[in-house]
C-alpha cells in the first residue's frame, strides 16, 4: 500500500517536470500581458464550470449548419491562442511555486526513507504477533470470549422465558375472571404491565403491552357488570372483591358513581320486569308490544285480579334493592370502623392516609345522598303503579291489603332514609279518597237496604259481648303507632321479642317484610253469638239460682233511685226486698243482660271497624273517614226515629218529648244526608246532582214489622230492639271517641266533639218519643175521660169510697204490666226502658185526670175532696205496680186540684206561674171554682189574663 503511494507521487512529479518544459517554451514567446489577459477573459464561462464538461461536444454543437473552411480556421486559431494564453498563465503560476515544490520534494524523500523503516518494523511486529497468537490468545482469550457469550445467552434465555410467561397470562386472566377473582386478575395484569415495560426493547413486547391494556379494560367492564349484580343480591365476599379491585385500579370514587347508576337502573329494570311479567301473563299471548311501552303506560294494563300480587312482588323486588343498598352502607361503615380501630381486613390496600380520608369522605357523602335518591325513585315507580289503576271498585279487604302493603313500604322508607314518603302518601290518599267515597256511598245504600229489610228481631250475642271481639276491631287491641301496618302488628303481637327490631334488622339475612300480610292473613273464628239467646243451659239456670244474690246486682240498682236530672243518690240504704223489686222491674228474669242489638247494628259496627282500619292505616284521610262514620250513625239514628218515633199527633202534646238538641240533630241529618227529592220519584229520573250524590233516600219500614197490634203492645219488642240497639251503638261510639280523637287532625277536632255532643249523646233521648207512642195507645185514656164525665162532682157530703174510673185505670195499668212481662219473655226490657214506659203512661194518666177534672161543669168542695181521694187511691195502688220514684206529674194533678181553693188574687198569680196547664184547664178553674164567688168583671179579668198567656203560643 505504501509503495503504491510513492509510485503515484513520482508520477506526478514527472508530469510536473514536463509541464515546466512546456511552460518554459511558452514564456520564451513574447506576449503582451494585457493582451494575454484579454484572451483569457474572452474564454467562455462554461469552460470554468466543472470537470465533467465535454468541450469537444460543446464546440461541435456550436458549428453552423453550413461549414466555411476559412471561418473554421480562424476559429481554430482563436482557440489555440486561448489555449496558449491559459498554458502560459499556468506555467507562470508553477514557476512562482518552484521553491515550495523543491522543499516539498525533499520532505517526500525523507518520508520515503521513514516509510521504508516502518515497513521493516511492521514486518517484525507481524512475525511476533503470529508467534503470540499461536502460543496464548487462541487458547486463553477464546475461553473468556465463550464465557461472555454464554452469559449473554443465559440472560437472553431468561428474558425469553419471561416473555413467554407474559404471553401466556391471558389464559390465566380468563380463568381468574371466570372465578370472579377480580383483584387477583387486576394485580396480575398490573404486574405484567410492569414487566412488559422492562422488556419494551423487544419488538414483540410492544404488541403484548397493547394486549394487556385491552385486557385491563375488559376486566374493568366485567368489574362493572359484577358491581351491578350487588344491587339486587348483596354478597359480602363478592362486594369485597369488587371494591378491592377498584381500589387496586385507584378508582374508588368512580366505583361509587357507577354503583349509584346501577342502583337507579336496577330499580327501573326490576319494576318494569315485574309489571311486564304480570301484564303479559294476563294478556295471554306472545305479543311483544308491551315490551316497547313506557313503564307508566304499562301499569295501566294491570288487571284487578293481578293488582295485589303484582304490587306485592313489586314491593318485594324493591325491598331487595333497598336491602342491598342498606347492606352496602353497612359494609362501608364496618370497614371504616375496622380502619379506625386499627384492625386488619383482607380489603386493606396500602394507600396514603390523605387519599384514604378523601375516599372515605367522598364515599360516605355519596352513600348518604344516594339514600334519598333511591327512595325517591322507588316512590315514583310505586306511585305510577298505584295511580295506574282505578281502585274504586276493589273489595274492601283487597283495598285494605293495598293500604297495608303501601303502609309497610312507607315504614321501609322511614327506616331507610327517614323519609315521610310524601309522594306515596299523596298518591295513596288520592286513591283512598276516591275509593272511600264510592265505598261509603255503596255502604250507605247497603245500610238502607238492611234497614228496609230489618224485622228488628234480637240478634243473640253473649252477655260479655264487646266490639273488640270482632275481627274488624282486632287492630285496636294491639298497642302500636298508627303508622305501623297491620301486618307488622301481627308480627309484634306474635313475637314480642322482635317488636323492637327494625325491618332492616329483622329481615337482614332472610325473609321479606311484604310476605307477612299473606302469612298472617288466616281465617279466625268469632265467638260472639249465643245459642238460642242463651250462652248455656247452666247460665240460664244460674239466672234464677242467683236471683236472691246481690253479687250481680249493679250498684245503681242497690240504691233507691237515681234522680235523672241531677244524678243525686239518696244516702239511705235499701232493703233486700227493695232490691228484688228493683230487679223485677227490669223485666229480665229469663235473659242474661246481653246487649240488645240487631243484625243491622252488628253490620254497622263492623262497618265502623272497617272504616277505622282504613283510617288507622292512612291518617291523611282520617277526617273523611270519621265524617263517613258519623253519617253511618246519623242514618241509623234517623231511620230508628222515622220508623218508630215520628208521629205528629203525639209530638204536639206539649210534653217536650223531643228536646231542642234532638230536633236540631234530626233536622241537620235530614238536610245534609237524606235525599228528600227521591221520595215518590223513580231513581235517576232527573239524574243526581252533585249535592245529591252524597245523600241517601229515606228508608222505609219493612212490611214485616207490625206496629198497630195491641196484643204486642204496638210492636214494643221491635221498638225496644231498635231503640236499645241505637243506644248500644251510641255506647260503642262513646268507647271509640278517644281513639278517633287521636286520629283526627287538630283543625278538625271540633267536628268530632260536636258530633259526640250533639248527635251520639242524643241517642238515648229517642226513647221518649218512641215509647210515648206505646204508652199513649197501651191504656184507654179516652174511656177514662168518658167515665170521669159521668161522675157527679157537686156532692154535698164527704165520700169515703173512690170512684170506679180509678179501678178501671188501675186495671189498665195491671194489664199493661202483664203485657210488659209477656214482651220481656222475647226481648229483655232494660230498666231505663221500663222506667220511660211507666213514666209516659203515668204522665198521660195524670194529664188525663187533670183533663177530666177540667171538664167538670159543677163542683163542690166535697167534690174536690173526692178528686183528692181518687188520686190518692190511684197513687197508692200505682206504687205497688212500679218502682218508679217519684211518681211523674204527681204535683201536676195535686196542684190543679188544690187550685180550686184559691182566692181571686191567688188565682191571678197562679195563672201567671203555672203555664203548664192549658187555657181550657185554667179557664175551668176560673169558671167552676171562682164562678160562684166573684163577679163577672173579675172573671173577665182572669180570663183575659189566661188569654194573654196563651197568645204567645199562637
3-state SS, 66-105, equals CCCHHHHHHHHHHHHHHHHHHHHHHHHHHHHCHHHHHHHH
Asked if the model's pLDDT at residue 352 lies above 60, the reply is no
Residue 654 has what pLDDT? 54
Residue 485 has what pLDDT? 45
159 vs 52 pLDDT, higher one: 52
Cis peptide bond prior to 886, omega within 30° of 0: yes
- Mean pLDDT of all residues in 490-513: 58
What is the number of helices (H) and of strands (E) in the chain? 37, 2
Give the burial class of 352: count Cβ atoms within 10 A of its Cβ; 0-12 exposed, 13-18 middle, 19 or more buried: exposed
Domains contained in the chain, CATH given: 1-179 (no CATH), 251-339+354-416 (no CATH), 441-474+594-674+701-766 (no CATH), 779-889 (1.20.58), 902-953 (no CATH)
Cell readout for 672 is 245534609
User: What percent of the chain is modeled with pLDDT above 70?
Assistant: 73
For 793-825, what is each residue's pLDDT tens digit? 888 888 888 889 999 999 999 999 999 988 988
For 140-151, what is each residue's pLDDT tens digit? 777 788 888 888
| Alpha carbons within 13 A on the beta-carbon side of 489 | 21
**pLDDT, the chain, mean:** 77
Asked if the model's pLDDT at residue 242 lies above 60, the reply is yes
Name which of 238, 237, 229, 400 is nearest 308 in CA terms: 400
Are the C-beta atoms of 889 and 871 separated by less than 8 Å?
no
User: What percent of the chain is modeled with pLDDT above 90?
Assistant: 18
Name which of 409, 334, 413 is nearest 371 in CA terms: 413
How far is the C-alpha of 612 from the C-alpha of 618, rounded, in Å? 10
Cell 512546456 locates to 22
- Helix 304-341, helix 396-417: angle, nearest 10: 20
Residue 341 has what pLDDT? 58
Residue 563's contacts (CB-CB under 8 Å, 6 or more residues apart) are 569
Give the burial class of 461: count Cβ atoms within 10 A of its Cβ; 0-12 exposed, 13-18 middle, 19 or more buried: buried
Angle at 480 between CA 476 and CA 483, to 5 degrees: 105
Residue 449's contacts (CB-CB under 8 Å, 6 or more residues apart) are none
Q: Please report which confidence band the pLDDT of residue 431 belongs to, taking 50, 70 and 90 as the band edges.
A: confident
**DSSP helix/strand/coil, 531:** strand
Lowest mean pLDDT among 241-245, 625-629, 688-692, 788-792: 688-692
**C-alpha 166: how far from its chain's center?**
57
Beta bridge partners of 531: 534
How far is the C-alpha of 370 from the C-alpha of 756, rounded, in Å? 48
Cell 461541435 locates to 60
How far is the C-alpha of 524 from the C-alpha of 743, rounded, in Å? 27
How far is the C-alpha of 354 from the C-alpha of 340, rounded, in Å? 14
Q: Please report which confidence band the pLDDT of residue 165 belongs to, taking 50, 70 and 90 as the band edges.
A: low
For 461, list phi and psi in degrees, rounded to 5. Answer: -125, 165
Q: Please report which confidence band the pLDDT of residue 380 belongs to, taking 50, 70 and 90 as the band edges.
A: very high
Q: Please report which confidence band the pLDDT of residue 287 belongs to, taking 50, 70 and 90 as the band edges.
A: low
Residue 113 has what pLDDT? 93
Name which of 900, 808, 807 is nearest 853 in CA terms: 900
Asked if the model's pLDDT at residue 186 lies above 90, the reply is no
Question: How would you label 826-853 residue by residue, b for 16+ Cβ within 10 Å and e otherwise?
Answer: bbbbbbebbbbbbbbbbbbbbbbbbbbb
For 541-566, what is each residue's pLDDT tens digit? 333 333 333 434 334 333 433 333 33
Asked if the model's pLDDT at residue 114 lies above 80, the reply is yes
Asked if the model's pLDDT at residue 364 lies above 90, the reply is no
Question: How would you label 526-548 residue by residue, b for 16+ Cβ within 10 Å and e otherwise?
Answer: eebebeebbbeeeebeebeeeee
Name which of 918, 925, 904 is nearest 947 in CA terms: 918
How far is the C-alpha of 84 from the C-alpha of 90, rounded, in Å? 10
Residue 336 has what pLDDT? 64
Residue 537 has what pLDDT? 41
Name which of 779, 798, 801, 790 is nearest 878 in CA terms: 779
Provide Rg for the chain, Cα atoms: 63
For 583-600, what is each residue's pLDDT tens digit? 444 555 444 577 888 999
- Structure pTM? 0.65
Query: Which helix (H) or strand (E) segment is 186 a member of?
Result: helix 182-198
Region at 715 (left for phi over 0; alpha for psi -120 to 50; beta for the rest): left
Asked if the model's pLDDT at residue 629 lies above 80, the reply is yes
Lowest mean pLDDT among 32-36, 174-178, 776-780: 174-178
Amino acid at each position: 500500500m505504501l509503495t503504491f503511494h510513492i509510485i503515484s507521487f513520482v508520477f506526478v512529479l514527472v508530469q510536473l517536470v514536463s509541464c515546466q518544459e512546456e511552460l518554459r517554451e511558452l514564456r520564451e514567446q513574447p506576449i503582451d500581458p494585457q493582451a494575454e489577459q484579454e484572451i483569457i477573459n474572452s474564454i467562455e464561462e462554461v469552460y470554468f464550470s466543472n470537470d465533467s464538461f465535454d468541450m469537444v461536444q460543446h464546440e461541435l454543437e456550436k458549428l453552423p449548419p453550413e461549414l466555411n473552411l476559412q471561418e473554421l480556421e480562424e476559429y481554430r486559431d482563436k482557440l489555440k491562442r486561448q489555449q496558449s494564453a491559459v498554458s502560459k498563465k499556468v506555467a507562470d503560476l508553477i514557476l512562482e511555486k518552484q521553491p515550495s515544490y523543491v522543499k516539498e520534494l525533499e520532505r517526500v524523500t525523507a518520508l520515503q526513507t521513514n516509510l521504508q523503516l516502518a515497513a521493516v518494523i511492521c514486518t517484525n511486529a507481524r512475525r511476533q504477533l503470529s508467534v503470540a497468537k499461536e502460543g496464548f490468545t487462541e487458547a486463553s482469550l477464546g475461553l473468556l470470549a465463550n464465557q461472555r457469550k454464554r452469559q449473554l445467552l443465559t440472560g437472553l434465555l431468561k428474558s425469553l422465558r419471561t416473555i413467554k410467561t407474559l404471553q401466556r397470562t391471558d389464559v390465566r386472566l380468563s380463568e381468574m375472571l371466570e372465578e370472579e377473582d377480580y383483584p387477583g386478575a387486576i394485580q396480575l395484569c398490573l404486574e405484567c404491565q410492569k414487566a412488559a415495560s422492562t422488556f419494551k426493547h423487544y419488538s414483540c413486547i410492544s404488541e403484548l403491552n397493547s394486549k394487556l391494556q385491552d385486557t385491563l379494560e375488559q376486566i374493568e367492564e366485567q368489574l362493572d357488570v359484577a358491581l351491578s349484580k350487588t344491587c339486587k343480591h348483596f354478597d359480602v365476599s363478592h362486594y369485597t372483591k369488587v371494591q378491592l379491585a377498584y381500589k387496586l385500579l385507584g378508582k374508588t370514587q368512580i366505583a361509587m358513581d357507577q354503583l349509584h347508576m346501577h342502583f337507579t337502573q336496577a330499580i327501573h329494570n326490576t319494576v318494569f320486569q315485574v309489571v311486564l311479567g304480570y301484564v303479559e301473563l294476563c294478556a295471554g299471548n306472545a305479543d311483544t308490544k308491551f315490551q316497547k311501552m313506557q313503564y307508566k303506560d304499562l301499569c295501566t294494563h294491570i288487571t284487578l285480579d293481578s293488582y295485589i300480587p303484582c304490587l306485592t312482588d313489586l314491593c318485594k323486588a324493591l325491598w331487595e334493592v333497598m336491602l342491598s343498598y342498606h347492606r352496602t352502607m353497612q359494609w362501608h361503615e364496618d370497614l371504616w370502623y375496622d380502619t379506625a380501630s386499627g384492625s386488619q381486613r383482607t380489603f386493606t390496600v396500602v394507600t396514603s392516609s390523605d387519599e384514604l380520608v378523601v375516599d372515605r369522605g367522598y364515599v360516605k357523602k355519596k352513600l348518604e345522598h344516594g339514600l334519598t335518591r333511591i327512595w325517591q325513585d322507588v316512590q315514583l315507580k310505586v306511585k305510577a303503579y298505584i295511580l295506574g289503576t282505578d281502585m274504586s271498585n276493589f273489595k274492601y279487604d283487597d283495598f285494605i291489603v293495598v293500604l297495608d302493603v303501601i303502609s309497610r313500604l312507607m315504614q321501609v322508607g322511614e327506616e331507610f332514609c327517614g323519609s315521610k314518603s310524601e309522594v306515596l302518601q299523596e298518591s295513596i290518599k288520592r286513591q283512598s279518597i276516591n275509593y272511600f267515597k264510592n265505598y261509603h256511598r255503596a255502604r250507605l245504600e247497603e245500610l238502607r237496604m238492611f234497614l228496609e229489610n230489618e224485622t228488628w228481631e234480637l240478634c243473640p250475642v253473649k252477655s260479655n259481648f264487646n266490639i273488640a271481639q270482632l275481627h274488624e276491631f282486632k287492630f285496636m287491641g294491639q298497642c302500636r303507632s298508627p303508622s305501623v301496618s297491620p301486618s307488622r302488628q301481627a308480627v309484634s303481637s306474635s313475637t314480642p321479642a322482635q317488636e323492637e327490631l327494625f325491618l332492616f334488622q329483622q329481615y337482614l339475612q332472610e325473609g321479606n317484610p311484604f310476605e307477612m300480610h299473606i302469612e298472617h292473613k288466616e281465617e279466625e273464628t268469632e265467638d260472639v253469638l249465643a245459642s238460642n239467646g242463651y250462652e248455656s243451659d247452666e247460665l240460664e239456670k244460674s239466672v234464677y239460682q242467683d236471683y236472691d244474690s246481690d253479687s250481680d246486682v249493679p250498684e245503681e240498682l242497690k240504691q233507691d233511685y237515681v234522680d235523672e236530672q241531677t244524678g243525686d243518690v239518696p244516702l239511705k240504704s235499701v232493703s233486700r226486698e227493695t232490691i228484688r223489686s228493683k230487679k223485677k222491674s227490669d223485666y229480665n228474669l229469663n235473659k242474661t243482660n246481653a246487649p240488645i242489638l240487631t243484625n243491622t247494628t252488628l253490620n254497622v259496627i263492623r262497618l265502623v271497624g272497617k272504616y277505622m282500619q282504613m283510617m288507622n292505616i292512612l291518617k291523611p284521610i282520617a277526617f273523611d273517614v270519621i265524617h263517613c262514620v258519623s253519617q253511618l250513625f246519623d242514618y241509623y239514628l234517623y231511620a230508628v226515629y222515622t220508623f218508630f218515633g215520628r208521629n205528629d199527633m203525639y209530638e204536639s202534646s206539649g210534653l217536650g218529648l223531643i228536646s231542642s238538641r234532638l230536633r236540631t240533630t234530626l233536622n241537620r241529618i235530614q238536610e245534609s244526608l237524606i235525599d228528600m227529592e227521591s221520595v215518590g220519584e223513580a231513581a235517576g229520573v232527573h239524574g243526581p246532582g252533585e249535592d245529591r250524590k252524597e245523600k241517601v233516600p229515606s228508608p222505609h219500614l219493612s212490611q214485616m214489622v207490625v206496629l198497630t197490634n195491641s196484643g204486642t203492645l204496638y210492636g214494643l219488642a221491635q221498638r225496644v230492639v231498635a231503640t236499645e240497639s241505637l243506644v248500644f251503638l251510641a255506647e260503642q261510639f262513646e268507647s271509640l271517641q278517644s281513639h278517633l280523637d287521636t286520629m283526627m287532625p287538630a283543625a278538625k277536632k271540633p267536628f268530632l266533639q260536636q258530633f259526640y255532643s250533639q248527635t251520639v249523646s242524643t241517642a238515648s233521648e229517642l226513647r221518649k218519643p218512641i215509647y210515648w207512642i206505646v204508652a199513649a195507645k197501651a191504656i184507654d185514656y179516652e174511656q177514662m175521660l168518658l167515665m170521669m164525665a159521668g161522675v157527679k162532682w157537686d156532692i154535698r157530703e164527704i165520700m169515703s169510697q173512690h170512684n170506679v174510673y180509678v179501678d178501671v185505670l188501675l186495671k189498665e195499668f195491671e194489664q199493661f204490666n202483664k203485657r210488659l212481662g209477656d214482651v220481656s219473655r222475647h226481648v229483655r226490657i232494660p230498666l231505663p226502658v221500663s222506667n220511660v214506659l211507666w213514666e209516659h203512661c203515668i204522665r198521660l194518666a195524670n194529664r188525663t185526670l187533670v183533663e177530666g177534672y177540667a171538664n167538670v161543669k159543677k163542683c163542690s168542695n166535697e167534690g174536690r175532696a173526692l178528686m183528692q181521694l181518687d188520686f190518692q187511691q190511684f197513687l197508692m195502688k200505682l206504687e205497688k205496680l212500679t218502682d218508679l220514684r217519684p211518681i211523674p206529674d204527681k204535683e201536676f194533678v195535686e196542684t190543679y186540684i188544690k187550685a180550686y181553693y184559691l182566692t181571686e188574687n191567688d188565682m191571678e198569680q197562679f195563672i201567671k206561674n203555672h203555664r203548664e196547664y192549658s187555657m181550657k184547664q185554667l179557664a175551668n178553674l176560673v169558671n167552676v171554682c171562682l164562678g160562684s164567688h166573684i163577679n163577672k168583671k173579675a172573671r173577665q179579668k182572669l180570663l183575659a189574663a189566661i188569654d194573654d198567656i196563651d197568645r204567645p203560643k199562637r
